[in-house]
Amino acid sequence: MSNSVDINNMVWSYSRLDAFCKCKYSWFLNYIEHKPQIQNGFSLYGTMVHSILENWAKGVILQHELAEEYFRQYYQCMTLPIPRMGQNDLNPKYFQRGLDYFLNFRGFGEKEIITSEYDFVYSYKGLRWRSIIDLLVKDDQDKVFLIDFKIWADSKTNTYMKEHVRQQYLYCIALWKFLKIVPDSIILEFPVRGDCYIEKFDSKRFHESEDWAFQTLDEISKETEWAPTVDKTFCQCICGYREICEHCPKKEIKEMKNG
């Protein structure tokens, strides 16, 4: 297999780089072959929760209306179930924890909302980039907090936190370029878990994230084999090519559907 990539002809984002790291073959099918993908319950749930919170931040939905809106959208938007993890049906857990989150939602204290779901498209170091910021707020001392909502419920590992804080550090490039803002802290908010992770902005971590991005770009530009990463959870539950990929264990997928 060949099809090398000219990195100058794409708009880059954290998710596009992260997708390459997760599975090169899936990346090849998506960004080179342009094969259509199928949805999964996690992505539908995440889109729904982000939509509700965006509408709250913009004043379209009031705080006391959030739980009702969540209930309405859940039955309208969740056209696919949350995938099973082994024998565990996660749907009751995700539904109830999401409902509890919105029933008890109190916003972010007295912090003022600067922007929500801001879509930045820009040039940086000769390449085109895109960053979509979930929420940016500031307190009464003008300290700015970059907030990102994460749906995955049970990932508490240092690796998971490091990867997703890295995403926010890359977004800081756009924040400085457009708004001349450096956040005081980065917050990962977990609606399903009902907690959050807070990290003070660290210039060393910022440069590590930038280095990771350009090292990954270098790997993409040199890639010619596009080998699959066969990970049970990703292949069976998340990958948008799980029903057509010849490397995916389809027998187990069929058993999961029937289960």
Tell me: the pLDDT tens digits for 197-209?
999 999 999 999 9
Quote the pLDDT of residue 155.
57
| d(C-alpha 154, C-alpha 97), whole Å | 12
Q: Domain-by-domain residue ranges, the chain?
A: 15-33+224-258, 41-103, 112-221
What digits encode the pLDDT tens for the residues 57-110?
Answer: 999 999 999 999 999 999 999 999 998 877 889 999 999 999 999 999 999 888
CA dihedral 85, 86, 92, 97 (to 10 degrees): -40
For 181, residues 6+ apart whose C-beta sits below 8 A from its C-beta are: 114, 136, 144, 175
pTM: 0.89
Quote the pLDDT of residue 2.
59
Query: Per mean pLDDT, which range of 24-33, 52-61, 248-257 is the poorest?
Result: 248-257
Q: Is the pLDDT of residue 36 over 60?
A: yes
What average pLDDT is seen over the chain? 91
Strand 127-138 vs strand 11-12: parallel, antiparallel, or unpaired? parallel
- Would you state the structure tokens that stand for residue 195, as one six-digit string? 């907690």
In degrees, to the nearest 5, what angle opens at C-alpha 36 toward C-alphas 35 and 40? 130
